[in-house]
Amino acid sequence: MTFPAAYFDDLYRQDDDPWDYRASWYERRKRWLTIAALPRERYRSGFEPACSNGELSALLAQRCDSLYACDISDHAVRLARERLAGLPNVTVEPRAMPDQWPDASFDLIVIGELCYYLSREATAELARRACASLTADGTLVACHWRHPFEGRLQTADAVHASFDALPALNRLVQHAEHDLLLDVWSKDGHSVAQGEGLV
């Protein structure tokens, strides 16, 4: 089970920034936390499912040679394309997760505020597909709101447990607050210091 595209299209018809991504200090801070948690300075190919109106995508694009972003909502895709129009390394397309997961490899996958709209089964499938498309040196990030809200199908902690359950993924970072849960995994398990040869 997943929320239908029409649900999100209705939200964006009413407000092109339904979660106040641009003005909210909470949202701006969360984006900076996400970017700061990335263990590598540069990535070859990034993927951001559920990109919404492209606010986080704009920051990810600065760290990626190429960034592929998508959203289930056609309205969100239009807004993200407008937001990211000046960035030639970014492509934005409509896709529904997990069924339309792209057939490609990425060394950065950032999953933000998505999986509590999916059933446990759909989240487990998304986690498997993400792991399968992550390169051997890649980074997988998930960040989710921890408070209850109408229509939530599962908690942030339950969502992240689906990724923790995959033996191929090693957690590098866990940042847990009352409001949000941010986790970073990789396949090689190398810390930032290990990646730079400091230890």
Total domains in the fold of the chain: 1
Structure tokens at 189: 């398990």
Domain that holds residue 121: 5-195
Q: What is the CATH number of the domain that holds 138?
A: 3.40.50.150
Q: Which residues pair with 55 in a beta bridge?
A: none
* SS3 assignment, position 34: helix
Query: How would residue 17 be classed by pLDDT, with cut points 50, 70 and 90?
Result: confident
pTM value surpassing 0.85 = yes
Checking if the pLDDT of 1 tops 70, the result is no
Query: How would residue 6 be classed by pLDDT, with cut points 50, 70 and 90?
Result: confident
Query: What secondary structure does DSSP assign to 59-119, as a single string?
Result: HHHTTEEEEEEEES-HHHHHHHHHHTTT-TTEEEEE--TTTT--SS-EEEEEEES-GGGB-
Q: What is the mean pLDDT of the chain?
A: 94
* SS3 assignment, position 7: helix
